[in-house]
Chains A and B, each alone.
Chain A
Amino acid sequence: MKPPHLSRTDALRCIPVRNPLVSENRLDSGVLLSYPETLRPWFAGFLRKMKKESEFRRMRKLQLDILGTGVWDLVDGKSTVTEIIDSFAGFHQLYHKEAEVSVIQFLRELGRRGIVGMKQVTG
């Protein structure tokens, strides 16, 4: 099923939520994330039917730099995308648009890898 179309306003009001299967390791250079590889839906469905999903699901790693770690720490399951952008911009004294582009791009990349999901806020 196709996901519903979100307006920009609605997208900014979404709450990024961490995938509970992601584990983190704190290093001096930033956070190292370990996350399960995202499988194509048809393949994941096939494996689930064959009860072989756990055998094929590999763990991948992603090293975040200082800025990425900053945004990751702001993904607390409560803050909206807008709130994360505002906090990130305030902390680093960034120009707001600059923070907005960086944070959205970063969250999109985490979403593509299945590290975070977006919870839509209704009302």
Chain B
Amino acid sequence: MDETSDITRWDEIAWNGIAFQKPSCWEIATIGRNYLMLGTQTDPRMEMNWGNPSKTASHHRSLKQLQAKHGLSVDAWNPPQSWLDALSTHDARGVSWKNTAGNALIVSCSSCNRASLFQFYQSNSEDTGHFHTTVSKLLSTFRDHSENSHQQWAVFDIRATLPAAFQIKSYQFTPGFMTMDFFSNGLKISLYRWSPASVLLAGRKLSEFAGSLPFYPGSASETLQDANRMEWKRSPSFSLLNRLTTFLTAKFSHHRLLIRHVSETNRILAVRSESRQPMDSNLFDQIVADYETAAS
């Protein structure tokens, strides 16, 4: 099947502040903190860089910073009108590289002052009209800031929602294992995802799998909710020595881990919190409830 013709199925990508809908066959080929490259099995289809939002800088200044950061020596380029129409709420302009062939679209947002740079690649077998329609549809769904106090995360098959204050600190996406670490004010949230669960759990229980994890907190604090869901909590005792040690070492002293087997998608998901103060239980439960994997 010609991959470029299969744009009937779309899904969302949301990563470090930006989000948009894309054809399902455009998968993540490379991911960086502020960089994405999407491609089909055979061809790259788009690249994207973006800056951080700013409260003070004007969006024109953000735009220039992004240009300077990527060493863009550019001429003006007129993007297709349909692309510009799709970005009616943003300031969008086309640029053309001076030294190497290529065009890009620089998009800045007047409300969050974030500047983003898009490059789209038309495949050899793709009709130009089809290409412009796909790009326009993608751009029309582009969001570079959240409308509420929460931020979505949707990469590969992971879907999560966290309070916007959480910043991503590290991440790892490898076959079979994915993890993302977030920080906010002395609180660390880690999301984990393993697959295929049927192989990882072959002949053993979820608790035995959990016991093999390097951050397994020990069975003393274990709460068995059902065979597919387990939780651990560990908080320091209230002895003066413990409190003093915690204060002096500035270590995370409160730990919570919830691990569950999602048999429908053949995944194992876990949410782990580490904090200096006890974490709001409702917030933890909400993060767990919002953390899921999309069906393959």
Identify the A interface with B (CB < 8 A): 7-9, 12, 66-67, 82, 89-90, 92-102, 105
Contacts and interface: CB of A to CB of B under 8 A. Distances in A.
Contact of B28 (A7, A89, A90, A97): A97
Interface stretch (B106-114, B137-145, B193-201): B193-201
Chain B interface helix/strand/loop/mixed = loop
Contact of A92 (B28, B42, B156, B198): B198
Given A67-B199, A92-B196, A98 B41 contact: no
Interface in B1-50: 27-28, 41-42
Contacts of A12: 41-42
A98 B42 contact: no
B31 to A, nearest CB: 11
Given A66-B199, A92-B199, A97 B42 contact: no
16 contacts: A12-B42, A67-B196, A89-B296, A92-B198, A92-B199, A93-B195, A93-B196, A93-B296, A94-B195, A94-B266, A96-B27, A96-B296, A99-B175, A100-B41, A102-B175, A105-B175
A90 B296 CA distance: 8
Contacts of B163: none
Interface string B196-218: 10110010000000000000000
Given A67-B196, A95-B156, 17 more contacts: A8-B42, A67-B199, A92-B199, A93-B266, A93-B296, A94-B195, A94-B196, A95-B157, A96-B27, A96-B296, A98-B175, A98-B176, A99-B175, A100-B41, A101-B175, A102-B175, A102-B176
